[in-house]
Structure 1
Amino acid sequence: MPAPTTRLAPAKINLTLHVTGQRQDGYHLLDSLVVFTEHGDGLTLDAGPGLSLDIHGPQAAALAPEPDNLILRAARLMAAEGAAFTLDKRLPVASGMGGGSSDAAAAIRLLAERDATPLPDTGALMRLGADLPVCMAAPQPSRMQGLGERVAPLAGIPALWLLLVNPGQGLSTPAVFKAMTERQNPPMPDALPQGLDALALCDWLGGMRNDLQAPAIRLMPAIRDLLDVIEAQPGCALARMTGSGATCFGIFRDRDSRDAAAMALTGRAAFVMTTRTLPSVS
């Protein structure tokens, strides 16, 4: 019997998220610079009868095992048998960090490695969610376009000292999109920056957007309050919301200023995590 295998399901952070249009079927077109972090959920695969999922960890209470959990849906997509999963749920649910999609991607990779089976194609991944293709790619900075099916790795993006803060409330992604007042927005430039240091990259990011941030704030004003507090911390180079919220992030000049900001935010938010983003492979 193979030994249990554990894989990190890293948090996905949208440094930018431009909504560039809406198709006739209602799906939105996106242009996003995505990075992944050194921390996230942990997923373990062991042998067992049928398919099963046990969830523990600090955020487990918000994610009760259900037949449509993305991990089990991913396992069914892989036609897996004899798979007992254990999820160490560390990321908040419905928080804009792609936790469910990253968990599902980890499940697919664990099963593919164990059973020596090919990975699903992009169309199959998209049936699990728009974040699956980027989460299935190598965990490095990437540009995600279209509905999420077009993913291209980016060179020259440095590691960033990151603070993640969540108010302890989930936000419905469909509700945030519904609250948008403008769905036809400019994309990012064709050529994205390469080789910038962290502070220069933050200067460039300051001219970009998360088009879901304003509608999310209208639905949950606490997001604006968190962003103001993060931005006011010494050493903060950029504060923004990730995904459809409600998690906010701050990019800091160095580890010390990030850690000091985390101390200042502790007790003022339900979830505070210090981490670092994974840099480009080249």
Structure 2
Amino acid sequence: MTNAEPITLITPDWPAPLNVKALQTTRTGGVSPAPYASLNLGAHVQDNPIAVAKNRQLLSPYLPSEPVWVNQVHGIEVINAATSTCLQNADASFTTKPNVVCVTMTADCLPVLLCDKKGSVVAAVHAGWRGLCDGVIEAAVQKMQVSADEVLVWLGPAIGPNAFEVGRDVRDQFIAKDNQASQAFKLLESSASGDKWLCNLYLIAQQRLNRIGVTGIYGAGVNEDFCTYTDQVRFFSFRRDNITGRMASMIWLESHRDVAVAQL
């Protein structure tokens, strides 16, 4: 196991309240060897467990507590991170408690971080195409229990619209739920039979959010270029590499006292 290089983190660019903190990891830094090189945070991808534990420890200086890791199953279950143990089956978590870290892990699926404008609740969502189609983002917004026009959203690194190739069956499932989703699919020129399409996960997420009244959307597909498939230096990509690591998108609330101290 090699010595850890300095880790590289992305701070979301969005107008979240001062007490809302969020971080996005990249693959840079950490101790995992290839093909998990190097800041792999996924304990379920056959990487050395000791390396994964060390990589997670490297996040400690940046976080108020250990993230509430979940066992992601491409569903729509949303748990309360403040009252849940790690590794529950879920694809989203939320909290209203300070210093509780909600997290989602991805390597092409769309990570979605949410908060309200008052800084009273945050959520993290794992939006693979199945969960996105079935309504995992909407389920998370509902759990936040705030008005839709109070919700702010940051879309993190995911496979981009020029790289995510899917079959007709995937397209049909989205359109069956919302006909507007047809705008997010582009027929591959090489697909004479019409069976291969490019899918824009970012646009579908925006459509779903807009449909429930959420318009404060930032990040990937809006004001950032975060394609996991094409950016091999910064991001893991399951579609590109098959055997690979996982990145983490994390969000939490600071106590108002901690915010006041930081402003001094």
* TM-score (normalised: structure 2): 0.27
If the length of structure 1 is used for normalisation, what is the TM-score? 0.26
